Structure 1
Amino acid sequence: MTQILVVDDSPTEIHVLKTILEKNGYSVMTASSGEEGVAMAKQHKPALVLMDVVMPGLNGFQATRQLANDAATSSIPVIVVTTKDQETDKVWAMRRGAKDYIVKPVKERDLLERVKALVA
């Protein structure tokens, strides 16, 4: 079963993403901070990471950059999932190493298409 790591400080967002992914056959792990997400990605090597941006401590841009720059995790694709809807935020995320960018609220079909494209 394909394992996906969801990193978000909102229990509601984690629930929404986890529900969508699990009902479509994915195994989901969760982390509630950037630091925890980076540590879990290094330990468990998920097929994909869904990364929020606005979190206390290590934000999603910083965590994405750490994953992209670490040989142990650089092959794990990251999709940034955020409320930040500015083109500059998207460009910044991609420069940090994200493979895709989704604006919340997430549409189930859109999320699944993007996930499948990166874990196929």
Structure 2
Amino acid sequence: MSGVGLFKRLFGGEDRVIGERRIRPRQHARPDTRFLIIDDSTTIVTVLRRMLQQNGFATREAYDAERGIEIAEAEVPHLIFLDIVLPGMSGFEALRHLRRSPVTRNIPIIMISGNEQATEQFYLQRIGADDFMKKPFNRDEVFSRISRLLGPDLLPHRPEGSYILRAAV
């Protein structure tokens, strides 16, 4: 028996995986839901954009922190995906700026990075990130993180206790 045949026998084959994915309800957006993606990787931006738009979310994109902050303050998205390593201003600095601005301080922010160090996640919480997602990520991870931030109105919100030092921001 080949490796693939053994895998299918042990885990029920491809049909089981596809069937389970289709059983789970898909989270669709309210028509006016807007997300901002700030990442210098065209691949990450494209993948996230496709995932989100397939579920009805409107997206805006920025490839550096400065432009991302401009868009966030002008358009006030419902949620921001923010990479940590960016050209020019870092994601840490951008997060700090977004939390200090009265216009953007209450927007939920999911930080994304290829580095999953505990110290990095702790620092993000101290500045005010609402969640952290490690690259590479998959559709289930993206939508489970979005679901955790949805309020009763089905729009992302900042849940109480999702960040540590509100006053220090």
Tell me the TM-score range normalised by the shorter chain: over 0.9
- Map Cα deviations across residues 50-92 of structure 1 (whole Å, 9 max, x no partner): 0001011111111011101111110101100111110111111
Q: How far apart, in 1, do the equivalents of 2:95 and 2:146 lie?
A: 16
- Map Cα deviations across residues 27-60 of structure 1 (whole Å, 9 max, x no partner): 1100000111111100000000000010111111
Q: How far apart, in 1, do the equivalents of 2:62 and 2:141 lie?
A: 22
Give every structure 1 segment of 4 or more consecutive aligned residues whose post-TM-superposition deviation is greater than 3 Å.
Answer: none
Q: How far apart, in 2, do the equivalents of 1:116 and 1:31 lie?
A: 23
Give the TM-score, by structure 1 length: 0.96
Counterparts of 1:18-97 in structure 2, within 5 Å, are 18-97=49-128
Structure number having the greater strand percentage: 1
CA drift of 1:119 comes to 3.6
- Same amino acid, percent of matched pairs: 33
Name structure 1 gaps, 5 residues minimum: none
Higher relative contact order (CA 8 A, sep 6+): 1
Q: How far apart, in 1, do the equivalents of 2:52 and 2:65 lie?
A: 20
Q: Tell me the SS of whatever aligns to 1:57.
A: coil
Give the TM-score, by structure 2 length: 0.69
Q: Tell me the SS of whatever aligns to 2:149.
A: helix
Root-mean-square deviation (Å): 0.9
Structure showing greater radius of gyration is 2
